[in-house]
C-alpha cells in the first residue's frame, strides 16, 4: 500500500475518466469534485470510569443534486475526513446507478467501537446526533448503518433526533429495528444485492453458481449475509475472514454454523470459532486463494498495487466500499479478472433504505416478499444498464457504472441550472 493513497482522489480520478469518455466538459461536472458541505464535530463522552473522552466525528454531504443526502455512519479508528469524503461521493454515484432519488452523504466517528461498553456507545451516538441535528432530517440528510454501527445505534440516533425535534421522526434514519420503523429485508439487503449482482455476472461470464468456490473477506452485516445467501444459492464458501484472521476449508465451510456463532453475541470473532477440518489462514492468504468468486466485504484498500497480481479469483464482486485501489484495478483488468464495482454490487442496502424511508413517510408497512421483488428489479436493471454502458464504450464495469451515474447526475445539474 502506498502512503500517498487518498480515497477521495481515487474516486475523482475515475470521475474524470468517466467524464472524458462521455465527452463532458469540465464545467458540466466540476462541482462534483467538492463536497457541498463538510462538518467536523468534537463529541465529549462520559466513560464508565467517570473520565471524559472527546472523539472526532464527521458528516459530509457530497451532492444533493438528485435528492436528500443519503449514507451510512461508520465507527472505526481509521475514520478521517478524506475517508468520509470519499465514501460520501461514492454514495452520490451509487444512488444514481440504481436511480433512486437521493444524493450522497456519509458520517463517521474516529473510535475503536469494540473497546467501548454498550453504555459508552449509546452516549457517543446520542451526543453525535445532537451535534449533527442542524444538518440532518427526513428531507435533508438521512443516515444509515455502516461499519460497526447497527440497528441499535440507528434506534438511538432516531430517538435522540426525535427528542430534540419534539416529535417522533422515524424517517430521519434507516436501518432501524423492525419494531421501531425498520423495514423487513433491510438487514439482509446489502448481502441480497450482492447475491443478485453475483448471479447476473455469473450468467454473463458463463459461471455456474452451483458448486462455484467463493472466498469472503469480512464477516459482518454484509460479508456474513452475502456468504449465507451465496451458500444457499449452491456456492461453496471455502474461506471467510474478519479482523482476527481467516478460516478455510477446501470442501466448503458450514457457513450457517459460522454465522450463527458470530451473531450469538456482540464482539464474537472467528479466531474463537472451531470446526472439524478447519484451517486458519491470514487475510492476505484468503485474497490469494484460487476461487471462482472473491467477495471483499470488509474495508477499503484491501486489494492494492502490492497484492493485486497474486489475486487468485476469476470474478471479484465488491461488497465493501472501495476495496480495490485504482492501481490494483488496472493490474486485475490486465489479468482478465472481472470486477463488479462497489457502487453497483453493494447498492442493495441503500435501495432497501429508500424503501424503509418511503414506508416511514407514508406510515405503511410492506411485505418482505414485495421488498425483495422490488430490490431484485432495481438491481437487475442497474446491472444491465451498467453492462450496456460498459459494452458500448468498450470499458470496464466500474467505468460503465461511473459513466451511467455521471450521465444521470449531470442531467440533473443541467436541468436545475446550477451551472451558470
Ligand atoms: P460490519 O462492521 O458489520 O463488518 C465489518 C467486517 O469486516 C467485520 O467482520 C470485521 O471484523 C471485518 N474487518 C474489519 N477489518 C478487517 C480487516 N482488516 N481484514 C478483514 N476483515 C476485517 O460492517 P458492514 O456493514 O458489513 O460493512 C462492510 C463493508 O460494506 C464496508 O466497506 C461498508 O462501507 C460496506 N457497505 C455496508 C453497507 C451496509 O448496509 N451495512 C452497505 C453498503 C456497503
The answer to whether the beta carbons of residues 144 and 73 sit under 8 Å apart is yes
Largest pairwise CA distance in the chain: 66
* Cα-to-centroid distance, 202 and ligand 1 (Å): 24
SS3 call for 250:
coil
Ligand 1 centroid from CA 391, angstroms = 31
From ligand 1's centre to the CA of 269, what distance in Å?
13
**Nearest-angstrom CA–CA distance, 322 and 364:** 35
Catalytically annotated residues = 106
Query: Which ligand 1 atom minimizes the distance to the CA of 87?
Result: 34
Strand partners, 45: 53
- pLDDT 10s digits, 15-52: 999 999 999 999 999 999 999 999 999 999 999 999 99
- pLDDT of the residue at 419: 52
**Residue pointed to by grid coordinates 464495482:** 341
Residue 57 has which C-alpha cell?
466525528
Q: Which three cell numbers stand for residue 275?
A: 470446526
Domains of the chain plus CATH, in order, are 35-167 (3.40.50.10860), 187-336 (3.40.50.720)
Give the residue whose CA is nearest to atom 34 of ligand 1: 321
Top mutation candidate among 79, 142, 143, 222 for ligand 1, by most atoms within 8 Å of CB: 222
**CA-based nearest residue to 374, from 232, 222, 183, 204:** 183
Q: Give the tens place of pLDDT for each residue, 66-100.
A: 999 999 999 999 999 999 999 999 999 999 999 99
Q: Give phi and psi for 42, each to the nearest 5.
A: -110, 125
- CB count within 10 Å of CB 5 equals 16
Which atom of ligand 1 is nearest the CA belonging to 244?
Answer: 11
Instruction: State residue 1's pLDDT score.
Output: 41
Q: Between the CA atoms of 375, 222, 342 and 97, what dihedral angle is there, to the nearest 10 degrees?
A: 20
- Name the closest-CA residue to atom 28, ligand 1: 298
* Residues with pLDDT less than 70, the chain: 1-4, 418-420
Q: Is 206 exposed, middle or buried (0-12, 13-18, 19+ CB in 10 A)?
A: exposed
State in Å: Cα 20 to ligand 1 middle.
32
Pocket of ligand 1 (CB under 6 A): 145-148, 190, 217-223, 241-243, 283, 297-299, 319-321, 346, 349
Amino acid at each position: 500500500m502506498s502512503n500517498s493513497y487518498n480515497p477521495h482522489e481515487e474516486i475523482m480520478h475515475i470521475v474524470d475518466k468517466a467524464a472524458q469518455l462521455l465527452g463532458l466538459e469540465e464545467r458540466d461536472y466540476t462541482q462534483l469534485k467538492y463536497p457541498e458541505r463538510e462538518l467536523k464535530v468534537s463529541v465529549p463522552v462520559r466513560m464508565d470510569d467517570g473520565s471524559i473522552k472527546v472523539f472526532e466525528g464527521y458528516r459530509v454531504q457530497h451532492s444533493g443534486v438528485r435528492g436528500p443526502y443519503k449514507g451510512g455512519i461508520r465507527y472505526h479508528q481509521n475514520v478521517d475526513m478524506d475517508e468520509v469524503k470519499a465514501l460520501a461521493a461514492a454514495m452520490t454515484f451509487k444512488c444514481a446507478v440504481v436511480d433512486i432519488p437521493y444524493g450522497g452523504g456519509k458520517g463517521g466517528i474516529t473510535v475503536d467501537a469494540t473497546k467501548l461498553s454498550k453504555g459508552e456507545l449509546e452516549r457517543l451516538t446520542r451526543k453525535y446526533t445532537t451535534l449533527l441535528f442542524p444538518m440532518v432530517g427526513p428531507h435533508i440528510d438521512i443516515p444509515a448503518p455502516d461499519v460497526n454501527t447497527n440497528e441499535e445505534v440507528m434506534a438511538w440516533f432516531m430517538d435522540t433526533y426525535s427528542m430534540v425535534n419534539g416529535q417522533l421522526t422515524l424517517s430521519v434514519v434507516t436501518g432501524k429495528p423492525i419494531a421501531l420503523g425498520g423495514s423487513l429485508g433491510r438487514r439482509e439487503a446489502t448481502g441480497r444485492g450482492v447475491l443478485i449482482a453475483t448471479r447476473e455476472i455469473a450468467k454473463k461470464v458463463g459461471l455456474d453458481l452451483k458448486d462455484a468456490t467463493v472466498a469472503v473477506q469480512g464477516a459482518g452485516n454484509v460479508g456474513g449475509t452475502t456468504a449465507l445467501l451465496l451458500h444457499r444459492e449452491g456456492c461453496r464458501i471455502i474461506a471467510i475472514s474478519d479482523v482476527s484472521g481467516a478460516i478455510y476449508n477446501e470442501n466448503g465451510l458450514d457457513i450457517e454454523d459460522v454465522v450463527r456463532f458470530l451473531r450469538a453475541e456482540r464482539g464474537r470473532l472467528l479466531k474463537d470459532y472451531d470446526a472439524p477440518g478447519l484451517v486458519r489462514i491470514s487475510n492476505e492468504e484468503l485474497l490469494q486463494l484460487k476461487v471462482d468468486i472473491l467477495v471483499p466485504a470488509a474495508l477499503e484498500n484491501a486489494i492494492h498495487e502490492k497484492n493485486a497480481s497474486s489475486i487468485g479469483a476469476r470474478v471479484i464482486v465488491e461488497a465493501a466500499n472501495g476495496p480495490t485501489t485504482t492501481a490494483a484495478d488496472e493490474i486485475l483488468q490486465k489479468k482478465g479478472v472481472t470486477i463488479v464495482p462497489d457502487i453497483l454490487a453493494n447498492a442493495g442496502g441503500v435501495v432497501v433504505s429508500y424503501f424503509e424511508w418511503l414506508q416511514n413517510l407514508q406510515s405503511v408497512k410492506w411485505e418482505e416478499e414485495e421488498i425483495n421483488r422490488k430490490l431484485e428489479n432495481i438491481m437487475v436493471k442497474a446491472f444491465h444498464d451498467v453492462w450496456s454502458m460498459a459494452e458500448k464504450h468498450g470499458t470496464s464495469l466500474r467505468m460503465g457504472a461511473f459513466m451511467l451515474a455521471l450521465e444521470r447526475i449531470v442531467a440533473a445539474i443541467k436541468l436545475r441550472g446550477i451551472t451558470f
